[in-house]
Amino acid sequence: MSYTHILVDTRGRVGLITLNRPQALNALNDALIDEIGLALDGFEADENIGAIVITGSEKAFAAGADIGAMAGFSYMDAYKGDYITRNWERVKTCRKPVIAAVAGFALGGGCELAMTCDLLIAADTAKFGQPEVKLGILPGAGGTQRLPRAVGKAKAMDLCLTARFMDAAEAERAGLVSRVVPADKLLDEALAAAETIAGYSLPVVMMIKESVNRAYESSLAEGLLFERRQFHAAFALEDQKEGMAAFVEKRKAQFKHR
- Of residues 139-168, those binding ligand HXC (CB under 6 A): 139-141
The residue from 65, 141, 156, 193 that is catalytic is 65
* Nearer Cβ to ligand HXC (149/214): 149
Q: Which of residues 63-92 bind ligand HXC (CB under 6 A)?
A: 63-68, 84-85
Query: Which of 8, 40, 91, 105 is the binder for ligand HXC (CB under 6 A)?
Result: 105
Given the residues 35, 132, 172, 189, the one annotated as active site: 132
Buried b (16+ CB within 10 A) or exposed e, 206-244: ebbbebeebeeeeeeeebeebbeebeeebeebebbebbe
Under the criterion CB under 6 A, does residue 108 sit at the interface with ligand HXC?
yes
Annotation marks residue 12 as catalytic: no
| DSSP bridge partners of 9 | 16
Identify whether 132 is a catalytic site residue: yes
| Cβ 27 to ligand HXC shortest distance, Å | 3
Q: Applying CB under 6 A, what is the total number of residues that bind ligand HXC?
A: 22
Q: Cα(163)–Cα(131) distance, rounded to whole angstroms?
A: 4
Phi and psi torsions of 99, nearest 5°: -105, 130
Cβ nearer to ligand HXC, comparing 68 with 175: 68
By CB under 6 A, the residues from 15 to 34 that bind ligand HXC are 24-25, 27
Strands 179-181 and 119-123, by their bridges, are parallel
DSSP character at residue 134: G
- 42 touches 110 (CB < 8 A): no
Q: What are the catalytic residues? A: 65, 109, 112, 132
